[in-house]
C-alpha cells in the first residue's frame, strides 16, 4: 500500500493552480467555468436531465480526476437550479493526489459565484484519506463519494451505475495513465444503460480506445483554444470482449425497493440512528423503535467514546472500512457542538511494548501523515500534556465523541419518528408488510425493516443464526482535577482515557466474555485504574487515583456486540433454510456458482456487529445499508461490502459442510 500524497501545486500570476507532478493546468487558462459547463454539463445534457428527475429520482455522475472539485461544484449548482426538491445528485470521483484543504480553499476562491457550494464542500473536506470517502452535502440531497487513490486501483472496486461520465485527467500526453483501454473498460463496466460521456480532448487514439470499450464518441466543436472535444454515449459491452465478472448471487443486489418508502428501524443506538438518518436523507419515512425510554441507552450510551483506529498496514477489509468510516464519522461531527458533543483533540496510541512499536512503524509507512504520525516519547508528552513512558502513534484528527449526541442528531433529521418504549418481540410478514409485534400488540408495520438491535437481533427467526456475541464492557468516570486539566489529547494503551467532558474523564474499558450482569462492578473499576497506570502514572497521580475507592467509583457497563471476523454485519437478509437449499452444492465444490437467485427476505435488512468501534463503523454502515436498499453506488469497495454482508456466514458454513 502506498500512502496518499497531496497534490503539489504552483500558482500562476493570476492565482491559478498548476500541477508540478504532471506539469499541467487544472482548468482552462481562459475560463475554467465556461469550459466546465460546456464540456461536461452541456455535452452530458445535464440541465434537461436534472429538470426531468422526478421526486425521489437521482442522477449519478462519475468523474476521473476530482482535482479542485470545479466540475463537481458546477454540476451541483446546475442541479440546484433545475432539479425538483426531493431529487438527488450522486457524484463519484477518483483522485490520486487530493488537494490539501488550504490549496482547495485557495483554488475555489477563484470562483466567487460558486461560494454557496464551495463553502459547504470545504466544511466537509476533512479526513480525506485513502480509499472511499463519502461526503454528505445539502442535508443528503447531494452525495459526493471520493475514491482516493489511483484510478486503476479504485474504479475496479466501485459498485455503481453511472449515468454520466466526466473524463478529466490531465492532458493525455502528460497523464497517459488516465487514458488507457483498461480504465475505459472500467467506465464501461460501471456505465448505466444509456450512460453519456464527455471529455475536453479530441485526441484520435483516446477516441478510438473509448469507442473500443463500448461507447460511441463523436467529435464536437470545442471552446476557447480547444478546437474540438468529444462526447458520446454507452452502446453496450462490446460483443468481442469477455463480459465483466458479476457478483455471486448471494452478494448480488436484491431487487430495489418499490412502492411505499416507509421503514421500521428497530434499535435506537448508533447503528439504528445512522440507518434511520441515511434512509430519511433519501426521502424514506422512518419509524425508529427503541425499547428504552430514549435513544442511546445501551452500548451507545457512554459519556465518551474514542475515535480509535485499529489499522493494518496490509490493507485488510477491516482496515479499509476503518479509514472510510473514520472519515465519514469525522465529517458528520463537524455538524455537532465541539467540546460537549465531541472534541477533535487527537488520539495518541502508545507504543507500550516492542511488538506494538513495530506495528506502529509499519503503519507510519503505509498511511499519510495527515492521518497518523509517529511521535517519540518527548513529542508524545508535549502533545498529551502529561508525562508518558512511551512514544506512540498520533492521530491528529481523532478525538472523543459523546455517542448519545451523535444518535440524537441523526434521529432529529426530518422524516424520522422516534418511538421509545417499543420493545419488539416478534416480526411477522403480512400483505407485503413487516409487522413488529410486542406479544399481542402490533407496534408498527412497513415494507422495510432494519434490525439494529445489536446482539438482540438474534431473537428474530431470520437473524437468529447470525454469529453475534456479547462482550460486557465497563467504563469508569473520573472527576477532573486542576492537575488533570493538562491532559490535552486522548491517550490509549490497552485502555483509554480522554480529556474531561463536563468535568469528567472517561476511563475505559474492561472486556468480559462471560458476564451478563450490567451492574457496574468494583473489580472492573479497579481493572480500569490498572489500565490508567499503564497509560500514564503521572496522569494517575494527577487524578489522585490512589485515594479513590473502586467501591465508590461511578461508571456504566454495556454489551459490545461482535462477529467472529470483527467486521460488522450490514446488508440484506436471506431466508436461511431456502439459502442452504439453493446453494447446497457449495458443500461439495466451493468454486461452484449456481445461477439460482438468492432467496431474499424482501425488505429485511440488518446493521449490527459493531464491536468496540461503533463510532467509526456504524454511521458509514447506515450509508451502506441505504445504498443496498436504493440501488445506489456503494460507499465502500465492493469487496469490503461483501466482507460485511450477512450472507458471508451462511456461505462459509456451506463450504465447510457445517450448514
Ligand atoms: C464499555 C464500552 C466502551 C466502548 N468504547 C468505544 C469507543 O471508545 N469507541 C467506539 O467507537 N466504540 C466503543 N464501544 C462500542 C460502541 O459503543 C458500540 O459499537 C456501539 O454503541 C454499537 O451500537 P449499536 O447501535 O449497534 O448497539 P446499541 O447501542 O447497544 O444499541 C442497540 C439498541 O437496540 C435496542 N434494542 C435491541 N433490541 C430491541 C428490540 N427488540 N426492540 C426495541 N429495541 C431494541 C437496545 O435497547 C439498544 O438501544 C464501546 C462499547 C462499550 C460497551
Ligand atoms: C485536470 S485535473 C482535474 C480537474 C478537476 N476535475 C476539477 O474540476 O478541478 C486531473 C486530475 O486527475 C488526477 N489524476 C491524475 N492521474 C491520476 C490517476 N492515475 N488516478 C487518479 N487521479 C489521477 C490529478 O491529480 C488531477 O487532480
Find all residues with CB under 8 Å of 171, minimum gap 6, and list them: 24, 201
Question: In CATH, what number is assigned to the domain containing residue 551?
Answer: 3.30.9.10
Say yes or no: 549 and 634 in one domain.
no
Domain count, the chain: 3
* Domain presence at residue 589: yes
* Domain presence at residue 327: no
**Residue carrying the nine cell digits 437449499:** 581
Q: Is the per-residue pLDDT at 257 higher than 80? A: no
Question: In CATH, what number is assigned to the domain containing residue 66?
Answer: 3.40.50.150
Q: What is the mean pLDDT of residues 18-42?
A: 91
Say yes or no: 84 and 187 in one domain.
yes
Ligand 2 centroid–CA 134 distance in Å is: 18
Distance (Å) of CA 589 to CA 197, 593, 604, 651: 42, 9, 29, 12
How far, in Å, CA of 604 to CA of 390, rounded?
48
* Domain presence at residue 581: yes
Say yes or no: 139 and 160 in one domain.
yes
Q: Give which of 363, 538, 359, 556 is closest to 472, Cα–Cα.
A: 556
Q: What's the per-residue H, E or C state across 519-579? A: CCCHHHHHHHHHHHHHHCHHHHHHCCHHHCCHHHCEEEEEEEEECCCCCCEEEEEECHHHH
Question: In CATH, what number is assigned to the domain containing residue 599?
Answer: 3.50.50.60
* Domain presence at residue 316: no
Say yes or no: 200 and 268 in one domain.
no
Say yes or no: 225 and 373 in one domain.
no
Q: Is 238 exposed, middle or buried (0-12, 13-18, 19+ CB in 10 A)?
A: middle
pLDDT, tens only, 507-529: 999 999 999 999 999 999 999 99
Ligand 2 centroid–CA 597 distance in Å is: 39
Q: Is the per-residue pLDDT at 284 higher than 80? A: yes
Phi, psi dihedrals of residue 53, rounded to the nearest 5°: -70, 130
- Rg, the chain, Cα only: 26
54 DSSP 8-state letter: P
* The model's pTM: 0.98
Say yes or no: 148 and 277 in one domain.
no
Range(s) of the domain holding residue 475: 347-396+470-557
Q: What is the mean pLDDT of residues 214-240?
A: 94
Ligand 2 centroid–CA 96 distance in Å is: 7
* Domain presence at residue 253: no
* Domain presence at residue 29: yes
Ligand 1 centroid–CA 643 distance in Å is: 21
Q: Considering 535, 557, 579, which residue would you say is the last residue of a domain?
A: 557
Say yes or no: 68 and 165 in one domain.
yes
Q: What is the mean pLDDT of residues 130-158?
A: 98
Say yes or no: 271 and 283 in one domain.
yes
What's the pLDDT score for residue 1? 66
Say yes or no: 482 and 613 in one domain.
no
* Domain presence at residue 329: no
Minimum-distance ligand to the CA of 7?
Answer: 2
Q: Is the per-residue pLDDT at 30 higher than 70? A: no
Strand partners, 264: 287, 449
Q: Considering 523, 538, 557, which residue would you say is the last residue of a domain?
A: 557
Q: Considering 507, 539, 557, which residue would you say is the last residue of a domain?
A: 557
Q: Whose CA is nearest to atom 39 of ligand 1?
A: 453
Say yes or no: 453 and 478 in one domain.
no
* Domain presence at residue 636: yes
pLDDT, tens only, 591-639: 999 999 999 999 999 999 999 999 999 999 999 999 999 999 999 999 9
Say yes or no: 156 and 285 in one domain.
no
Q: Whose CA is nearest to atom 6 of ligand 1?
A: 305
Say yes or no: 510 and 458 in one domain.
no
Amino acid at each position: 500500500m502506498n500512502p496518499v500524497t497531496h497534490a503539489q501545486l504552483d500558482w500562476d500570476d493570476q492565482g491559478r493552480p498548476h500541477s508540478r507532478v504532471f506539469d499541467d493546468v487544472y482548468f482552462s487558462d481562459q475560463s475554467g467555468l465556461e469550459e466546465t459547463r460546456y464540456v461536461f454539463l452541456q455535452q452530458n445534457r445535464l440541465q434537461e436531465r436534472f429538470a426531468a428527475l422526478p421526486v425521489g429520482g437521482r442522477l449519478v455522475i462519475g468523474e476521473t480526476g476530482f482535482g479542485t472539485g470545479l466540475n463537481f461544484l458546477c454540476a451541483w449548482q446546475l442541479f440546484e437550479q433545475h432539479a425538483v426538491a426531493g431529487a438527488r445528485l450522486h457524484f463519484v470521483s477518483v483522485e490520486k493526489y487530493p488537494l490539501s484543504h488550504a490549496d482547495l480553499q485557495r483554488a475555489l476562491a477563484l470562483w466567487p459565484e460558486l461560494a454557496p457550494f464551495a463553502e459547504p464542500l470545504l466544511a466537509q473536506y476533512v479526513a480525506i484519506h485513502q480509499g472511499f470517502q463519502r461526503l454528505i452535502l445539502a442535508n443528503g440531497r447531494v452525495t459526493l463519494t471520493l475514491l482516493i487513490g489511483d484510478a486503476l486501483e479504485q474504479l475496479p472496486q466501485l459498485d455503481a451505475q453511472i449515468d454520466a461520465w466526466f473524463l478529466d485527467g490531465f492532458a493525455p500526453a502528460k497523464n497517459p495513465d488516465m487514458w488507457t483501454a483498461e480504465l475505459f473498460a472500467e467506465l464501461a463496466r460501471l456505465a448505466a444503460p444509456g450512460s453519456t460521456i464527455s471529455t475536453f480532448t479530441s485526441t484520435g487514439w483516446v477516441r478510438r480506445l473509448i469507442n473500443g470499450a463500448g461507447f460511441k464518441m463523436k467529435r464536437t466543436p470545442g471552446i476557447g483554444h480547444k478546437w474540438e472535444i468529444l462526447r458520446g454515449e454507452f452502446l453496450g459491452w462490446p460483443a468481442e470482449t469477455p463480459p465483466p465478472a458479476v457478483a455471486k448471487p448471494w452478494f448480488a443486489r436484491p431487487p430495489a425497493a418499490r412502492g411505499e418508502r416507509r421503514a421500521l428501524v428497530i434499535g435506537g443506538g448508533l447503528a439504528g440512528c445512522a440507518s434511520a438518518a441515511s434512509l430519511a436523507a433519501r426521502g424514506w419515512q422512518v419509524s425508529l423503535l427503541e425499547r428504552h425510554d430514549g435513544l442511546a441507552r445501551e452500548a451507545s450510551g457512554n459519556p465518551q467514546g474514542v475515535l480509535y483506529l485499529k489499522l493494518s498496514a496490509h490493507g485488510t477489509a477491516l482496515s479499509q472500512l476503518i479509514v472510510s468510516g473514520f472519515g465519514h464519522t469525522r465529517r458528520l461531527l463537524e455538524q455537532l457542538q465541539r467540546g460537549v458533543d465531541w472534541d477533535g483533540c487527537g488520539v495518541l496510541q502508545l507504543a507500550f511494548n516492542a511488538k506494538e512499536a513495530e506495528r506502529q512503524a509499519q503503519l507510519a509507512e503505509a498511511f499519510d501523515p495527515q492521518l497518523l504520525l509517529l511521535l517519540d516519547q518527548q513529542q508524545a508528552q508535549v502533545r498529551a500534556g502529561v508525562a508518558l513512558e512511551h512514544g506512540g502513534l498520533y492521530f491528529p484528527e481523532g478525538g472523543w465523541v459523546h455517542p448519545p449526541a451523535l444518535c440524537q442528531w441523526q434521529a432529529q433529521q426530518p422524516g424520522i419518528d422516534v418511538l421509545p418504549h417499543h420493545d419488539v418481540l416478534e416480526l411477522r410478514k403480512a400483505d407485503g408488510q413487516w409487522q413488529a409485534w410486542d406479544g399481542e400488540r402490533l407496534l408498527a408495520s412497513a415494507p422495510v425493516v432494519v434490525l439494529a438491535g445489536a446482539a438482540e437481533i438474534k431473537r428474530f427467526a431470520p437473524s437468529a443464526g447470525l454469529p453475534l456475541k456479547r462482550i460486557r464492557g465497563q467504563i469508569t468516570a473520573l472527576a477532573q482535577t486542576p492537575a488533570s486539566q493538562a491532559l490535552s489529547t486522548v491517550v490509549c494503551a490497552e485502555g483509554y482515557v480522554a480529556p474531561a467532558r463536563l468535568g469528567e474523564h472517561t476511563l475505559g474499558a474492561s472486556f468480559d466474555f462471560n458476564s451478563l450482569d450490567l451492574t457496574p462492578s468494583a473489580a472492573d473499576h479497579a481493572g480500569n485504574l490498572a489500565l490508567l497506570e499503564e497509560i500514564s502514572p503521572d496522569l494517575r497521580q494527577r487524578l489522585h487515583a490512589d485515594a479513590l475507592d473502586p467501591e465508590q467509583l461511578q461508571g456504566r457497563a454495556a454489551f459490545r456486540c461482535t462477529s467472529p471476523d470483527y467486521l460488522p454485519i450490514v446488508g440484506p437478509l436471506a431466508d436461511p433454510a431456502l439459502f442452504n437449499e439453493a446453494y447446497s452444492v457449495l458443500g461439495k465444490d466451493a468454486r461452484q456458482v449456481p445461477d439460482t437467485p438468492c432467496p431474499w427476505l424482501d425488505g429485511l435488512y440488518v446493521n449490527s456487529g459493531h464491536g468496540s468501534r461503533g463510532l467509526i463503523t456504524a454511521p458509514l454502515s447506515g450509508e451502506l445499508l441505504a445504498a443496498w436498499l436504493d440501488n445506489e453506488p456503494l460507499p465502500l469497495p465492493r469487496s469490503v461490502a461483501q466482507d460485511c454482508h450477512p450472507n458471508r456466514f451462511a456461505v462459509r458454513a456451506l463450504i465447510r459442510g457445517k450448514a
